Amino acid sequence: MSDDFGFWDVMVSIFWFTILLAWISLLVHILADIFRDDSLSGGKKALWTIFIVLIPWLGALVYNISRGDSMNQRNRDAAMARMAIYDSQRSPSTQVSEELRGLAELRDSGVLSPAEYDQAKAKVLS
């Protein structure tokens, strides 16, 4: 028997560590979904959590089979909500650039003096 830890032993260890991380990630996603779901009552959330904690392999399998589609829908809805928040935060910057472009055109055409332009630009940027 050899006491060294060879290349393939390292590869097998990395494989099993990756499987462990995937398993932990799956359990975290399932538990987060249980508590994110508004359609489940508190008692059902408690039962699902106990089932996942006491019998993790069977609990995760049953949860993914019975509630996998709704889990996917909740994830999609949450992503769409985050995207809507991002878009709502992003759109004013587009309007600011259009206002600055309009102010620059007014300055270039002589309607605004440079001092008035700087004052209006500071107001738009604040």
The rounded distance, in Å, linking the Cα atoms of 5 and 116 is 75
pLDDT one-digit tens code per residue, 53-84: 999 999 999 999 999 889 999 889 989 999 98
- All residue ranges of the chain with pLDDT < 70 are 1-3, 91-94
Q: What pLDDT does 19 receive?
A: 97
The rounded distance, in Å, linking the Cα atoms of 29 and 46 is 16
The rounded distance, in Å, linking the Cα atoms of 66 and 58 is 12
